[in-house]
Amino acid sequence: MPRRSVSVLVFDGMSPFETGIVVEVFGLERPELGVPWYDLAVCRERPGPVRTVGGMSLQAPYGLERFAEADTLIVPGWPADREVPPALLHALQSAHTRGARVVSICSGAFALAAAGLLDGRRATTHWRYAELLRRRYPRVQVDADVLYVDEGQVLTSAGSAAGLDLCLHLVRQDHGAAFANAVARRLVVSPHRAGGQAQFVEAPVPAAQDDDRVAASMAWALEHLSEPITLGTLAAQAVMSSRSYSRHFAAATGTTPVRWLIAQRLQSGLALLETTSLSVEQVAREVGIDSAVTFRAHFRRAYATSPSAYRVAFRTGTGTGQAAARSA
């Protein structure tokens, strides 16, 4: 596999956080993964040192020429009211024409929009700027409720931390879900926001795009969690053999069907523990796990507490969550 080049922009008044995300995901060598990792170039928008929010100043080794050459160009939060210099516009446009992947984080979407790359496309940005983006660029279909939007060659992400979700999505595209999960694990973040719900409900992109049938079966499963579901059931929903289903599932998701199912069941169990007074036995059955013993075992493995301790700690309105749950 060829080594892929990624470039990220730095500029005066930027927040180091978003650029930091990019550096963390693409700039760290990851020999443990056994594939050539990315070649990251941090590029300044203008010559000279860059002053960041918080008063740091930093030197970046490359300029806009190098920025424009990468396979993937990333623009972190660009101040919405700052004009985008022609040289930067040109860099973005020429890269786009060449077929490169152009990516924004947070208000970086304004730079892409100014370059005309978002015209007629769906895009997102930080929710605080969504209305402004919509007003200033009426041809852009702004969707403020997603973590990120993948339009193929042009990708935009919402507020700061959603940039991390998008970067992981890029890794997933390039190397597969298992690699993305490995990177997420090393960053100690959840590979799928909110344990798996968010990507389907709020961010429609991930699995749906490259595997409709698997995504559909997963959506179906979420609606039928309380019923017994086997590999065969899921495969049938996806109109595939079990063997093929397992393969597709792994490719789309990076886990196995039953692992995912158990995680979903536990997660919906959390809500029941918080908001109802059903017994653990009843909660278990409600989420499709027939025995409370089994439920407890899975629960402890996933959350390192017992269901009842979790309930005491997180019952809605009881403030002191973490500490109480941990001591259980």
Which residues contact DNA by CB under 7 A? 230-232, 240-244, 246-248, 250, 256-259, 262, 289-291, 293-294, 297-298
Q: Is the Cβ of residue 257 or residue 269 nearer to DNA in the bound state?
A: 257
Say how many Å lie between the first and final Cα of the chain, rounded.
Answer: 47
**Distance between CA 170 and CA 168 in Å, rounded?**
5
**Distance between CA 309 and CA 328 in Å, rounded?**
6
Closest to 171 (Cα-Cα) out of 180, 182, 183, 161? 180
Compute and round to an integer the Cα radius of gyration of the chain: 22
| Nearest distance, CB of residue 23 and DNA, angstroms | 31
Q: Is the Cβ of residue 106 or residue 214 nearer to DNA in the bound state?
A: 214
| Nearest distance, CB of residue 116 and DNA, angstroms | 34
| Nearest distance, CB of residue 51 and DNA, angstroms | 47
Closest to 139 (Cα-Cα) out of 158, 114, 105? 114
| Nearest distance, CB of residue 266 and DNA, angstroms | 10
Closest to 150 (Cα-Cα) out of 138, 134, 161, 162? 162
Q: Is the Cβ of residue 266 or residue 272 nearer to DNA in the bound state?
A: 266
Q: Is the Cβ of residue 26 or residue 249 nearer to DNA in the bound state?
A: 249
| Nearest distance, CB of residue 296 and DNA, angstroms | 10
Cβ atoms of 158 and 150 within 8 Å: the answer is no
Q: Is the Cβ of residue 98 or residue 185 nearer to DNA in the bound state?
A: 185
